[in-house]
Structures are given as structure tokens and as C-alpha cells.
Amino acid sequence: MSKQILVVDDEVALARLVQINLQREGHEARIAHDGAEALDAIAAGKPDLVILDVVMPKLDGFEVLQRLKADPETADIPVIMLTGRSDDESILKGWTGGVLFYMTKPFDPLDLLAMVSRAFGTERE
């Protein structure tokens, strides 16, 4: 079943790689390149899942996460944090902020797809 997924990352090539992999799995994937653009995209059409980087211009991923979880309209959107930030403080901030999964870069696209499947309750074989 096709799901709407928003990929938020300021690294253009990485965002495109994630988008292509999601589309190959049958999902519809949109891209936002910074936190402000992400919030605008979510307001324009609520996705089923957000894949969110931390370090971005305008608003970082933690601020985006906080705003999503504070708004009753978007609080239930699952978020997978996909970031280069692997320090304990950032990981804890992600978990306490309400992420479903916290994945660090570099990453295996197949692992990310497995997390997406788990998020939707459709585990891959």
C-alpha cells in the first residue's frame, strides 16, 4: 500500500537517494531541504511518515520535531530521524522528542527501508 513520505534533508543527493529507494518500494516521497520548508510541506499535505535530518538551515530537525509533536494536527505523524549526529545527547534528544527510530549516517538504504516498513507495520521478508 502506497504511503506519503516526506524526506527532509539539506544534502540534495542524499535526499534524492532516499526518495528513489522509497519510490521503488511503491511509496510517494516528497523532499524538503530545510526545516521551514518541511513545516510548509506538512501543512500543505500531511504525510504518513517524515524522515528527518537534524543539521539543516533555517530550522534544525529537533525544532521541526518539537513543533510537529506540539501540534495536535501533526503529533501522530511518525518520524524517523536520519542524521550524522551520533552523540549520546542528540540521540537522547531525538528519543525524548518522540522519534519512532533514530538512525545515523552513513546508513544502509535497506536498513532505512526496513524501518519504514516497521513504521507502517508491514515488515519486509
Express each pLDDT in 51-84 by its tens digit.
999 999 999 999 999 999 999 999 999 999 999 9
Q: What is the pTM of this model?
A: 0.95
Q: Is the pLDDT of residue 86 over 80?
A: yes
What single-letter DSSP state applies at residue 10? S
pLDDT exceeds cutoff 80 at 125: no
**Per-domain boundaries in the chain:** 7-48+61-104
Instruction: Decide: 60 and 15 in contact? Cβ < 8 Å.
Output: no
Q: Which three cell numbers stand for residue 54?
A: 537534524
Burial string for 43-82 (b: 16+ CB within 10 Å, else e) reads: eeeebbbbbbbbebeebbbbbbbeebbeeeebeebbbbbb
User: Phi and psi for 122 in degrees, rounded to 5?
Assistant: -125, 65
Determine the pLDDT at residue 122: 81
What pLDDT shows up at residue 124? Answer: 55
Quote the percentage of the chain above a pLDDT of 70: 97
The answer, yes or no, to whether residue 92 has pLDDT greater than 60, is: yes
- pLDDT over threshold 90, residue 9: yes
Which residues are paired to 28 by β-bridges? Answer: 4
What's domain 7-48+61-104's superfamily in CATH?
A: Response regulator (3.40.50.2300)
d(CA 104, CA 86): 6
**Main-chain phi, psi angles of 57, to 5 degrees:** -70, 165
- Percent of the chain having pLDDT more than 90? 94
